[in-house]
Structure formats: structure tokens, C-alpha cells
Amino acid sequence: MPGHPATNTTEFRALQAAFAGQLILPSDPEYDRARQVHNGMIDRRPALIAACNGTADIVDALGFATGQGMEIAVRGGGHNVGGRAVCDDGIMIDLSGMKGIWVDPATRRVRAEAGVTWGEFNRATQLHGLATTGGAVGSTGIAGLTLGGGFGYLMGRHGLTIDNLTSARMVTSDGRVVTASAHENPELFWGLRGGGGNFGIVSSFEYQLHPVGPEIAGGLIAFDIADIGQVLEYAAWLVDNPDDDLTAVVSLTHAPDGSGRKLAAMLVAHFGTAAQSDKALARIRALARPVIDRLGPISYCALNGLLDPGFPRGALNYWKSVFVADLDDRVRTILAEQFRACPSAMSKLIVERPHGAALRQAPSATAFPHRAPGYSILVLGQWAGAGDSEENMFWVRETADRLRAYANAGAYGNYLAEDEFDTRLGESFGDNLGRLRALKGEYDPENIFHHNLNIAPEAQRGQG
Ligand SMILES: Cc1cc2nc3c(=O)[nH]c(=O)nc-3n(C[C@H](O)[C@H](O)[C@H](O)COP(=O)(O)OP(=O)(O)OC[C@H]3O[C@@H](n4cnc5c(N)ncnc54)[C@H](O)[C@@H]3O)c2cc1C
């Protein structure tokens, strides 16, 4: 296959001479591995993968790409199910090798580069008994998760991931390196906290950390699916009995032993005192007779690794996100009926409840607008064989459509499949969308960063 014309120019040779990371072409042996993202449904072939080593590499790769008029995709952890971290024909600016993490125990701050995953982040910060709200699967990237909001076990106590972001360093569309924080470029800082990768390429993030663990209380508990009523009843009970120290995520899932048995499970984390967590865990254990009971003392890192085996890289994924205000009888019936009909033992219905500190911000305080009480339901389709795609995607669509009849008209952008990126924009950004469009016009008026949950600047609206 002939190379892309852009990679046969003097500008490309100049990039090669300066680049500290690796420039990977389709003819290189690493190419097929490097272009893969987490979701095996995504099969795109960029003309060039610029595997960056630092901010200067990002600036040079971006300058080269804009000079050559190439499509640009930016990859952090590569986990987003929408798959926009990679594009066809253009350049993938790949940050996944940028792994620097600098913890300052004195100020309880950490700066982490954009290729760090949550597993790596927790491992480094837990050396100092510190943590911040982050993703529940170790291989998820901090970059995309942070830019989209960030749900995690600590959200009741410390808010979303973005509520703990103190600054970000970003390369702008015209190659400047800027800092965004409460004091520098505050409007950009507002937009980066929920507005995704629309404004530029973030090279590193700085977060506030908090004393956590290393041992906390929690783990996995699972009941037979016949007990789904008690589990959802408990999730609803928590609304009137709030506990910022407790996060309990309901997962309608399948037995980890491969038997395909359907379970009503809960992932639990409690960050309070031993007496408080004993009481909270005892209440959960008493809901019904557990099939699996792995609740107890657990290290924070181990808790955040519990789900990892259930999300193998390369599995086929198709997800949808729905927010509902209540887990009323109608919603519970849909969840039970749809899960019974779920065609893949790798799929799940996950019910999360942003609570406590995550709801103490106004919807307009950051670009992430979903600060009202309620539930985020993730319809998580995951399977192994391409021949099963139609059946599984049908199930995801049907489940989401049924739930949307009772939904809040909200969606978590980080959980969306690509086919809803255009239609669910309003649901993802709510009343913040207009302000985000204005910011986009300021930082990326040509919309060169459009391989994402794209907010076109006002001037380009209607042009696709
Ligand atoms: C198995 C699994 C578990 C998950 N668990 C959670 C969870 O517990 N909580 C939660 O909130 N979410 C969770 N998510 C969703 C997750 O937040 C998103 O998939 C997120 O986008 C992943 O970030 P990434 O860097 O890995 O993704 P990528 O696919 O690399 O990037 C996602 C988007 O962000 C853009 N982007 C990435 N890095 C940058 C950057 N440095 N600068 C500018 N733009 C950038 C990309 O261009 C792309 O459009 C999970 C996803 C998976 C697949």
C-alpha cells in the first residue's frame, strides 16, 4: 500500500528528525497493535500514528498535521467505546505512552500525564495513602474520563473526578501551550471539566488528592437474579438514607465462573470508620441470601481492579447511557425484563447513583451538567464474536429505548456509542451547550478537534 502523501514530504522528515517518541506507519510491524483501541468494534487505519513522548512531541505532531491538512484523532487511554481516539487516513496523536506521575504528599496534589491509566494512577498515589475519584476499571485512561466528568467510588465523599481537577496543561489548535486552572484561563478550565477533547490536546492533569486506605471496606456481593427486587429497593432506599462514605453500584451481570448464571450484584465501597462500614455492609448482606460474598476489608487498589477481568481489550462493545430520576416500578420492571433477555454473558446493566459531593456543585459550575439526584443507567453490551453483533446491538437499543420513555433526557457522554454522538449532544451537555460552543469558537474555530463528542463552533453548525 502506498504511503499517505503527507508522509513523503520534507516536513515529515523534519518531524522524524525532532520527534522523541515513535512515528508509526502502516508498513511498520507495530502498526496493527498501535491502532487498536479497547473496543474491538473499532477498526480504523490512520496514515500515521504519532506516539508522543511529551508536550513537545504533541506540538510538533499537531503542527505537522495541520500543515498537511490531515484529520486528527487524539488518544488518551483508548478506552472510549465511541472509538474516536482513532481515525481513518489521518493522524492519531497517541498519548498512551506518556506515563509520568508526580505525587506531592505535602500538598496532596498529583500531576499525571495524559497516557496514565487509573490502575497506574492509583498504584502511584496509594504509595502515599492518597487517592482521588477515578474510574473503576484499571485500564481506563485518566484523560478521556476526566475530560468527560468521571464517576468513581469516591464520588460521594469527594465529588466527580473533575471536581478534584486543579489544573490542566493543554496544547491549543495553533500549537500554544497553555495552563487552565481557577486562576489561569478560567473559562477554558470550566470547559475542560466535562466538555471532552473539544478544545485542545491536554498533555497533563493536576488533581487534589485525599487520604484513602490503603485498606478500605467493600468488594463484590451478588445475589440470584430472582432477588433483583431487593437489590433495586436498596438502591432506592439509599436516596432517603444518604451516606457520602458509601458507594454501591448495582450491576445486573453474569457469574464470573463462566456458567452464564444471571446475578443481581453490587460493587460496594465504604470509606467511613470500621463501625460505620460494618453496619453498612451488614445491611447489604441481609438483603437476601448472597451467591457470592466478597465484602470485607480490601485495599483501594484491589477494589479498583476487581472488574478488570470482565473487560478484556478487543471485546466488542456497544453502550448507551440513560439518566432516570427514580427507580420506580416501571424502571425496575424494564431492567428485570431486559436483563432476562440479555443475549451475551459479557453484557451488564449498571445502575450508578451520583450522590453526596458529586451533587453539591451547580449544573453550570463545570461543563458537566448532571448534578441532579437520580440514577445513571449504563446499558453495557459486550460480546466476543462479530457474528453476534446484530443481536447484541438490538438488545442494547431496545433496552435504552424502553428506559428512555421514563428518562430525565440526560446522557453521560463518556458512556455513549458513536452512533449517538450527534443526536445526544444536548442530553450530554444540557444547558451548558451554548457556553461550550462559544468556548469552542475561541479555542478551535476551525474545529480541527472533531474526532470526539463534538461541539461544533457556532459558525460551523449545520455543516456536519
Ligand atoms: C471498561 C470501561 C470502564 C469504564 N469505567 C468508567 C468509570 O468507572 N467511570 C467513568 O466515569 N467512566 C468510565 N468509563 C468511560 C470512560 O470515562 C470513557 O471511556 C473515557 O473516554 C475513557 O478515557 P480514555 O482516555 O481511555 O479514552 P480515549 O478513547 O483515549 O479518549 C476518549 C475521548 O477523549 C479524547 N481525548 C483523550 N485524551 C485526550 C487528551 N489528552 N486531550 C484531548 N482529548 C483527549 C479522545 O480524542 C476521545 O474523543 C469506562 C469505560 C470502559 C471501556
Find out whether 91 and 72 touch, Cβ atoms under 8 Å: yes
pLDDT for 461 equals 72
Residue 342 sits in the same domain as residue 237: yes
**Ligand 1 pocket, mutate which of 72, 81, 414, 455 (most atoms under 8 A from CB):** 414
In terms of Cβ atoms closer than 10 Å to its own Cβ (0-12, 13-18, 19+), residue 20 is exposed
Residue 177 lies in a domain: yes
Residue 177 sits in the same domain as residue 132: yes
Question: 211, 238, 271: which is the final residue of a domain?
Answer: 211
Q: The domain containing residue 123 runs over which residues?
A: 101-211
pLDDT for 2 equals 65
Residue 169 lies in a domain: yes
Residue 207 sits in the same domain as residue 219: no
Question: 65, 94, 123: which is the final residue of a domain?
Answer: 94
Query: What is the CATH number for 324?
Result: 3.40.462.20
Residue 188 sits in the same domain as residue 293: no
pLDDT for 464 equals 41
In terms of Cβ atoms closer than 10 Å to its own Cβ (0-12, 13-18, 19+), residue 77 is buried
Residue 264 sits in the same domain as residue 338: yes
CA-311 nearest atom, ligand 1? 1
**Ligand 1 pocket, mutate which of 74, 202, 204 (most atoms under 8 A from CB):** 74
Residue 427 lies in a domain: no
Residue 227 sits in the same domain as residue 201: no
CB proximity list for 50: less than 8 A, separation 6 or greater: 19, 21, 23, 24, 57, 61, 64, 91, 92, 93, 94
Residue 174 sits in the same domain as residue 269: no
Please tell me the total number of residues recorded for the chain in this structure: 464
User: Cis link prior to 445 (omega < 30° from 0)?
Assistant: no
Residue 112 sits in the same domain as residue 29: no
Residues of the chain with pLDDT below 50 are 464
Residue 158 sits in the same domain as residue 185: yes
How many domains does the chain divide into? 3
Residue 279 sits in the same domain as residue 231: yes
Query: What is the CATH number for 55?
Result: 3.30.43.10
Instruction: Enumerate residues lining ligand 1, CB below 6 A.
Output: 37-38, 74-81, 84-85, 95, 114, 135-137, 140-141, 143-145, 147-152, 196-197, 201-202, 311, 414-415, 451-452
> 248-259: per-residue pLDDT in tens?
999 999 998 889
Beta strand 91-94 with 101-104 is unpaired
